[in-house]
């Protein structure tokens, strides 16, 4: 697992950790079942506060990307289907909302494109 934290980045360190682990899990660089370092171990390796890494791990667990198995450790979860289900539910809710607001399909898609560009930094 390779993580790089950029102090001059506009994203806070916990978000950088969360985003990088999430991307590596999604791309298969970190395979399902891969055991992640302990919170303390990763914090030490990255030169971050333990609470910063703990916050990233909590967010990843909430997203279904990782799972903690008590004293056995923290592992990459089989999250693709869970993440896709959550995204689908969010998309359905968005579709219903924009229809109620009276937006056209093109207007709704333009709003999504803008939001994704902002979220992904592009």
Angle, CA 57 vertex, CA 56 and CA 59 arms, to 5°: 65
Domains within the chain, CATH numbers bracketed:
13-76 (1.10.10.10), 82-121 (no CATH)
Which pLDDT does position 9 carry in this prediction?
Answer: 85
Diameter over CA atoms, the chain: 52
Sequential DSSP letters for the chain? ------TTSSS-HHHHHHHHHHHHHHHTSS-TTPEEPPHHHHHHHHT--HHHHHHHHHHHHHTTSEEE-GGG-EEE---HHHHHHHHHHHHHHHHHHHHHHT--HHHHHHHHHHHHHHHHT-
Which pLDDT does position 82 carry in this prediction?
Answer: 63
Q: Partners of 66 in the beta sheet?
A: 76
Which pLDDT does position 81 carry in this prediction?
Answer: 61
Which pLDDT does position 64 carry in this prediction?
Answer: 87
Could you tell me the two tokens for 3?
A: 């993580």
Nearest to 77 by CA among 36, 38, 43: 36
Q: Provide block-wise average pLDDT over 10 residues at a time, the chain (122 residues).
A: 89 95 88 93 96 96 89 83 72 92 96 92 78
Which pLDDT does position 110 carry in this prediction?
Answer: 96
């Amino acid at each position: 697992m390779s993580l790089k934290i950029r102090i001059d980045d506009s994203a806070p360190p916990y978000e950088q950790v969360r985003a990088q682990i999430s991307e590596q899990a999604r791309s298969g660089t970190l395979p399902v079942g891969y055991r992640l370092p302990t919170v303390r171990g990763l914090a030490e390796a990255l030169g971050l506060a333990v609470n910063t890494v703990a916050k990233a791990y909590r967010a990843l667990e909430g997203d279904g990307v990782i799972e903690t198995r008590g004293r056995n450790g923290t592992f990459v979860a089989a999250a693709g289907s869970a993440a896709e289900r959550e995204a689908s539910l969010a998309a359905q809710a968005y579709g219903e909302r924009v229809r109620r607001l009276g937006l056209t399909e093109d207007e709704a898609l333009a709003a999504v494109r803008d939001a994704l560009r902002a979220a992904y930094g592009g």
